[in-house]
Amino acid sequence: MEFKHVSVLADEVIENLNIKSDGIYVDLTLGKGGHSKRILEKLSEKGRLIGLDQDQDALNAAKENLKDFTNATFIKSNFENIDQVLKDLGVDKIDGALMDIGVSSYQIDNGDRGFSYMNDGPLDMRMDTANELTAEKIINEYPKEELVRIFSEFGEERFSKTIARKIIETRDLYHIDTTFKLRELIQGSVRSKEAHPEKRVFQALRIEVNRELEVLENTLEKVVDSLNIDARLCVISFHSLEDRIVKNKFKDLEKDCICPPSLPVCVCNHKAKIKIVNKKPITASKKELEENSRSKSAKLRVCQRI
């Protein structure tokens, strides 16, 4: 299947990165390389683009898409390893970075990857297919309490207990190993007027399989620490859980003190590392919304190293 993915908020990202022609920039979620291509077009031969992705299919597509550029470096890695990646490349500081968080159009549309409730396929959902944990393993082996926690925390699903109980009952009868089996099970366990009441459970499973929120939480400050003074980090998120983490982390990194308000004096010795460029997230233009419906939920937050 061809790797198709339309980069969202591309104009806004390029505008906010303040690209220097001879700078070093990192695309932490390379995908097909749509954002990276726009960055590379702004760079001279002295500039450099480093692209990371944990999905080998994405890396292959990006290498093909960016084959005309000689100043791009491709790394198969989760972006939580950014500090080690830069160290291995001999790069001390960078001039800008981009994170386009979440699942790509290719991953959603490719039924074999198991991300979508719209396509029948194996219950996989791994962004890095070398990882051992799959959605199938979670559904068939996790205890009820863990299923409830995942659906509640990562999917904000109000019927978490009902769905988890139905999964436990069903897996005693047969192995739940496809997206459609899970979809039908969920649709049969809750009363809802929604066309796809299973969407929150699928989101929760994807987040658990790929440790998405944990990785995001662990990575943001690492990226900020790798930035040169005045360099910027652009982060695009697609649901409230991601956006909340980015928003709160940026707020913490902008403060000189993060002690609890109850303490009379500062004991944290925390110093502000960034300034927030846009207090409210940037969203897609009317034109982009018309051309790409998946940009509807996208939010771009930008910070600048100080």
Binding site, by residue number, is 33-35, 53, 79, 100, 107
Q: Starting from the edge strand earliest in sequence, which strands make up the sheet with 48-53, in order?
A: 72-76, 48-53, 24-27, 94-100, 227-237, 299-305, 274-276
Provide DSSP, 224-274.
Answer: HHHEEEEEEEEEEE-SHHHHHHHHHHHHHHH-S--S-TT-SS--S-----E
95: Cα separation from own chain's centroid: 21
Strands 48-53 and 94-100, bridge-based pairing? unpaired
Q: Which residues are annotated as a binding site for S-adenosyl-L-methionine?
A: 33-35, 53, 79, 100, 107
Number of other CB atoms surrounding residue 111 within 10 Å: 18
In the structure encoding, which two tokens stand for residue 123, read together? 């219950």
Backbone torsions φ then ψ of 289, nearest 5 degrees: -60, -35
Calpha distance 56→63 (Å, rounded): 11
In the structure encoding, which two tokens stand for residue 129, read together? 């297919």
Calpha distance 54→89 (Å, rounded): 17
Calpha distance 235→82 (Å, rounded): 15
